[in-house]
Amino acid sequence: MPRYRLTLEYDGRPYVGWQRQSNGPSVQQALEEAVTRLTGETVVLTAAGRTDAGVHATGQVCHLEIDKELAPGRLRDGLNAHLREEAVVVLAAHRAAADFHARFSATGRGYLYRILNRRAYPALDRGRVWWYPRPLDAEAMHAAARLLLGTHDFSSFRASECQAASPVKTLDRLDVSRVGDEVQMIVEARSFLHHQVRNFAGSLALVGLGRWTQEDLRRVLAARDRRAGGPTAPPEGLYLTRVDYPVEMSEGD
């Protein structure tokens, strides 16, 4: 049975998240129903990460198996034809090896968090950025973010409902910079705890306000207690931008 890898872009606003749920439409449901309309087959898609309600993606990856042999380009275009009423698009489709797994084969993931830092609220990007009207010092946020790089117990930045076996993760990149009216945070690691990136954003915003110092953030990390951390930033500023795989799995037909 052929296995395919799909790269996706979606606006998270209309959905309860990636995963199928009983309380509303999901990205997974939209795609699976498109597959059924295209092929007549019922499938279950597996994603690299289960994004929460309101979270966006510019580089989400999922895999599926179908009985029908389709050229990857035809699969991409056919699915997009059935997704025209959805806020989801298939950017690319590739044939994948039988042992490829969108989640477990991944060697790294990248996220972008966007903060619109101006007095005026967003008109065009409403629901796609965290609007923060009070001035933020992006340089101070970036300097404090250096403390979080490397391998740590990130319990202070872990959601209470997180199901990860261990709170210990290795953070490869955490850069904060100002781009016009936005403060942008780029985060990369092999894997993340639930709400880890949003909790980083909420805590670093306190540094940007001048309410916390680098030493305060150091104490929060050492506390290993979510109650010591800053607020959870809203989902609308978060984007899953990339998923990395071993070279032999990175491309296909």
Q: Which CATH architecture has domain 3-105?
A: 2-Layer Sandwich (3.30)
The H-or-E segment that residue 4 falls in is strand 3-10
Residue 251 has pLDDT above 70, yes or no: no
pLDDT of residue 248: 65
Residue 222 has pLDDT above 60, yes or no: yes
Rounded CA gap, 178 and 166, in Å? 33
Q: Which CATH architecture has domain 108-241?
A: 2-Layer Sandwich (3.30)
The pLDDT tens digits of the residues spanning 116-125 come to: 999 999 999 9
Model confidence, pTM: 0.95
Q: 247 pLDDT band (50/70/90 cuts)?
A: confident
Catalytic residue among 52, 153, 172, 216: 52
Q: Torsion angle of alpha carbons 33, 35, 36, 41, nearest 10°? A: -140
Closest Cα partner for 49 from 67, 34, 32, 27?
Answer: 27
253 in catalytic set: no
Q: What is the mean pLDDT of the chain?
A: 96
User: In angstroms, how far is the first alpha carbon of the chain from the final one?
Assistant: 15
Closest Cα partner for 109 from 51, 179, 28?
Answer: 51
pLDDT of residue 81: 98
Rounded CA gap, 42 and 118, in Å? 47
Q: What is the mean pLDDT of residues 51-73?
A: 96
Residue 250 has pLDDT above 90, yes or no: no
Q: What residue type is assigned to position 41 of the chain? A: E
Rounded CA gap, 151 and 163, in Å? 19
pLDDT of residue 158: 96
Rounded CA gap, 28 and 15, in Å? 10
Rounded CA gap, 62 and 50, in Å? 10
Q: What is the mean pLDDT of residues 212-231?
A: 97
Phi first, then psi: give them for residue 200, nearest 5 degrees.
Answer: -60, -50
Q: Torsion angle of alpha carbons 212, 201, 147, 182, nearest 10°? A: -90
Please report how the helices 27-39 and 72-82 are oriented relative to each other, as an axis angle in degrees rounded to 10: 110
Residue 253 has pLDDT above 70, yes or no: no
Extents of the domains making up the chain: 3-105, 108-241
The pLDDT tens digits of the residues spanning 30-61 come to: 999 999 999 999 999 999 999 999 999 999 99
pLDDT of residue 218: 97
Same topology, domains 3-105 and 108-241? Answer is: yes
pLDDT of residue 163: 87
pLDDT of residue 1: 84
Closest Cα partner for 115 from 31, 243, 199, 234?
Answer: 234
The pLDDT tens digits of the residues spanning 176-211 come to: 999 999 999 999 999 999 999 999 999 999 999 999
